[in-house]
Amino acid sequence: MNRAYTQASNGSKPYQALILRRHGFKIPRTILTNLPDEAQNFIERCESGAIFKSISGIRSIVQRVNAERLRDIDLVGNCVTQFQEYIHGTEIRVHVIEDQVFATEISSVAVDYRYASREGLETSMRIFSLPDEVSERCITVTKELGLVMSGIDLRRTTDGEYYCFEVNPSPGYSYYELHTGQEMSRALIDTLRTDL
Protein backbone atom coordinates (compact mmCIF):
# COMPACT_ATOMS: atom_id res chain seq x y z
CA MET A 1 0.00 0.00 0.00
CA ASN A 2 2.82 2.43 0.83
CA ARG A 3 5.14 3.58 -1.94
CA ALA A 4 8.52 1.87 -1.93
CA TYR A 5 10.48 5.07 -1.28
CA THR A 6 8.59 5.66 1.97
CA GLN A 7 10.19 2.55 3.48
CA ALA A 8 13.49 4.45 3.87
CA SER A 9 12.68 5.83 7.33
CA ASN A 10 12.49 2.28 8.65
CA GLY A 11 16.18 1.83 7.85
CA SER A 12 17.18 4.20 10.65
CA LYS A 13 15.47 4.06 14.02
CA PRO A 14 17.47 7.11 15.23
CA TYR A 15 16.04 9.13 12.32
CA GLN A 16 12.54 8.00 13.23
CA ALA A 17 13.17 8.96 16.85
CA LEU A 18 13.95 12.55 15.79
CA ILE A 19 10.66 12.79 13.92
CA LEU A 20 8.70 11.20 16.74
CA ARG A 21 10.21 13.56 19.30
CA ARG A 22 9.43 16.54 17.07
CA HIS A 23 5.76 15.50 17.18
CA GLY A 24 5.68 15.36 20.96
CA PHE A 25 6.24 11.67 21.59
CA LYS A 26 8.44 10.66 24.48
CA ILE A 27 11.34 8.41 23.47
CA PRO A 28 13.19 6.18 25.96
CA ARG A 29 16.78 7.19 26.76
CA THR A 30 18.79 5.55 23.99
CA ILE A 31 22.40 4.91 23.04
CA LEU A 32 23.93 3.46 19.90
CA THR A 33 27.45 2.24 20.46
CA ASN A 34 30.08 -0.36 19.71
CA LEU A 35 32.09 0.56 22.81
CA PRO A 36 31.54 -2.01 25.59
CA ASP A 37 32.43 0.42 28.42
CA GLU A 38 30.01 3.03 27.09
CA ALA A 39 27.25 0.41 26.84
CA GLN A 40 27.98 -0.81 30.38
CA ASN A 41 27.84 2.73 31.79
CA PHE A 42 24.54 3.43 30.02
CA ILE A 43 22.99 0.19 31.30
CA GLU A 44 24.08 0.94 34.88
CA ARG A 45 22.41 4.38 34.70
CA CYS A 46 19.05 2.89 33.64
CA GLU A 47 17.18 2.53 36.93
CA SER A 48 14.43 0.36 35.42
CA GLY A 49 16.86 -1.74 33.41
CA ALA A 50 17.70 -1.71 29.72
CA ILE A 51 16.82 -3.55 26.54
CA PHE A 52 18.66 -4.01 23.26
CA LYS A 53 17.27 -4.27 19.75
CA SER A 54 17.88 -3.62 16.06
CA ILE A 55 18.87 -0.18 14.83
CA SER A 56 17.30 -0.74 11.41
CA GLY A 57 14.09 -2.15 9.98
CA ILE A 58 15.48 -5.67 10.15
CA ARG A 59 13.32 -7.55 12.62
CA SER A 60 14.90 -8.46 15.91
CA ILE A 61 13.67 -9.83 19.20
CA VAL A 62 13.73 -7.13 21.88
CA GLN A 63 15.58 -8.49 24.91
CA ARG A 64 16.28 -7.27 28.43
CA VAL A 65 19.89 -6.86 29.46
CA ASN A 66 20.46 -9.37 32.27
CA ALA A 67 23.52 -10.75 34.09
CA GLU A 68 24.17 -13.27 31.33
CA ARG A 69 24.09 -10.55 28.66
CA LEU A 70 26.40 -8.34 30.72
CA ARG A 71 29.01 -11.11 30.76
CA ASP A 72 29.01 -10.86 26.95
CA ILE A 73 29.14 -7.05 26.81
CA ASP A 74 32.47 -7.14 24.94
CA LEU A 75 30.59 -8.51 21.91
CA VAL A 76 29.19 -5.00 21.44
CA GLY A 77 32.61 -4.17 19.98
CA ASN A 78 31.72 -6.26 16.92
CA CYS A 79 28.63 -4.32 15.90
CA VAL A 80 26.92 -1.05 16.72
CA THR A 81 24.10 -1.93 19.09
CA GLN A 82 21.08 0.05 20.25
CA PHE A 83 20.31 0.06 23.96
CA GLN A 84 17.25 1.72 25.48
CA GLU A 85 16.05 2.30 28.98
CA TYR A 86 13.27 -0.18 29.76
CA ILE A 87 9.91 1.55 30.13
CA HIS A 88 7.37 -0.14 32.40
CA GLY A 89 3.81 0.05 31.15
CA THR A 90 1.23 -1.35 28.78
CA GLU A 91 1.94 -2.09 25.12
CA ILE A 92 -0.30 -0.30 22.64
CA ARG A 93 -0.07 -1.13 18.93
CA VAL A 94 -1.59 1.55 16.73
CA HIS A 95 -2.44 0.98 13.09
CA VAL A 96 -3.07 4.14 11.09
CA ILE A 97 -4.84 3.80 7.74
CA GLU A 98 -5.15 7.26 6.20
CA ASP A 99 -7.10 9.18 8.88
CA GLN A 100 -8.37 6.14 10.77
CA VAL A 101 -6.72 4.91 13.95
CA PHE A 102 -7.03 1.35 15.27
CA ALA A 103 -5.44 0.89 18.69
CA THR A 104 -4.85 -2.44 20.42
CA GLU A 105 -3.82 -2.92 24.05
CA ILE A 106 -1.55 -5.93 24.48
CA SER A 107 -1.22 -7.71 27.82
CA SER A 108 1.82 -9.94 28.21
CA VAL A 109 4.63 -10.41 30.71
CA ALA A 110 7.05 -11.11 27.84
CA VAL A 111 9.57 -8.37 27.02
CA ASP A 112 8.65 -8.77 23.33
CA TYR A 113 5.02 -9.89 23.14
CA ARG A 114 5.46 -10.99 19.51
CA TYR A 115 7.54 -13.91 20.77
CA ALA A 116 5.73 -14.65 24.04
CA SER A 117 4.72 -18.16 22.95
CA ARG A 118 8.40 -19.09 22.50
CA GLU A 119 8.80 -18.51 26.22
CA GLY A 120 5.57 -20.36 27.04
CA LEU A 121 3.86 -17.07 27.93
CA GLU A 122 0.38 -15.81 27.09
CA THR A 123 -0.61 -12.68 25.21
CA SER A 124 -4.07 -11.13 25.15
CA MET A 125 -5.36 -8.20 23.14
CA ARG A 126 -8.29 -5.84 23.30
CA ILE A 127 -9.47 -2.70 21.54
CA PHE A 128 -8.07 0.41 23.17
CA SER A 129 -9.31 3.99 22.98
CA LEU A 130 -6.39 6.39 22.59
CA PRO A 131 -6.66 9.99 23.75
CA ASP A 132 -7.50 12.23 20.77
CA GLU A 133 -4.18 14.06 21.08
CA VAL A 134 -2.19 10.80 20.79
CA SER A 135 -4.32 9.62 17.85
CA GLU A 136 -3.68 12.91 16.05
CA ARG A 137 0.06 12.58 16.65
CA CYS A 138 0.00 9.08 15.15
CA ILE A 139 -1.83 10.33 12.04
CA THR A 140 0.51 13.32 11.64
CA VAL A 141 3.68 11.21 11.98
CA THR A 142 2.34 8.67 9.48
CA LYS A 143 1.66 11.44 6.95
CA GLU A 144 5.01 13.13 7.52
CA LEU A 145 6.75 9.85 6.71
CA GLY A 146 4.76 9.72 3.46
CA LEU A 147 2.81 6.65 4.57
CA VAL A 148 -0.82 5.74 3.96
CA MET A 149 -0.64 2.94 6.53
CA SER A 150 1.62 2.46 9.54
CA GLY A 151 2.04 0.35 12.64
CA ILE A 152 3.15 2.41 15.63
CA ASP A 153 4.47 0.85 18.84
CA LEU A 154 3.59 2.77 22.00
CA ARG A 155 3.83 2.07 25.69
CA ARG A 156 1.52 3.78 28.20
CA THR A 157 3.01 4.23 31.66
CA THR A 158 1.03 4.06 34.89
CA ASP A 159 1.21 7.89 34.90
CA GLY A 160 -0.60 7.98 31.55
CA GLU A 161 2.42 9.07 29.52
CA TYR A 162 2.91 7.62 26.05
CA TYR A 163 6.33 6.54 24.85
CA CYS A 164 6.84 5.73 21.19
CA PHE A 165 9.35 3.13 20.05
CA GLU A 166 8.97 3.07 16.28
CA VAL A 167 6.83 3.39 13.18
CA ASN A 168 6.58 0.35 10.93
CA PRO A 169 5.85 1.18 7.26
CA SER A 170 4.93 -2.44 6.44
CA PRO A 171 2.93 -3.49 9.47
CA GLY A 172 1.28 -6.82 9.90
CA TYR A 173 -2.29 -6.09 10.88
CA SER A 174 -4.31 -9.29 10.44
CA TYR A 175 -3.06 -10.72 13.76
CA TYR A 176 -4.45 -7.70 15.62
CA GLU A 177 -7.66 -7.71 13.59
CA LEU A 178 -8.20 -11.40 14.33
CA HIS A 179 -7.82 -10.85 18.09
CA THR A 180 -9.85 -7.63 18.39
CA GLY A 181 -12.36 -7.61 15.54
CA GLN A 182 -11.24 -4.16 14.40
CA GLU A 183 -12.06 -3.78 10.70
CA MET A 184 -8.64 -2.84 9.37
CA SER A 185 -9.10 -4.94 6.22
CA ARG A 186 -12.27 -2.99 5.41
CA ALA A 187 -10.41 0.31 5.88
CA LEU A 188 -7.64 -0.90 3.55
CA ILE A 189 -10.15 -1.97 0.90
CA ASP A 190 -11.94 1.39 1.13
CA THR A 191 -8.61 3.21 0.81
CA LEU A 192 -7.61 1.19 -2.24
CA ARG A 193 -11.00 1.82 -3.88
CA THR A 194 -10.67 5.55 -3.28
CA ASP A 195 -7.16 5.65 -4.74
CA LEU A 196 -8.12 3.85 -7.98
**Whole domain around residue 74: which residue ranges?**
30-85
Number of structural domains found in the chain: 2
For residue 1, pLDDT beyond 80 = no
In terms of domains, do 40 and 112 share one? no
In terms of domains, do 76 and 141 share one? no
In terms of domains, do 20 and 37 share one? no
In terms of domains, do 56 and 117 share one? no
Surface-to-core class of residue 88, CB atoms within 10 Å of its CB (0-12 exposed, 13-18 middle, 19+ buried): exposed
Instruction: Give the model's pLDDT for residue 68.
Output: 75
Domain C-terminal end among 85, 109, 132: 85
In terms of domains, do 58 and 101 share one? no
Output 66 or 147, whichever has higher pLDDT: 147
- Separation of alpha carbons 87 and 126, rounded Å: 21
In terms of domains, do 130 and 37 share one? no
pLDDT tens digits for 106-130?
987 666 666 666 677 678 889 999 9
Instruction: Give the model's pLDDT for residue 46.
Output: 92
In terms of domains, do 81 and 92 share one? no
Which CATH number belongs to the domain containing residue 145 in this structure? 3.30.470.20
- Which secondary-structure segment (H or E) carries 97? strand 90-97
How open is the CA angle 3-58-42, to the nearest 5 degrees?
A: 125
Domain C-terminal end among 44, 64, 85: 85
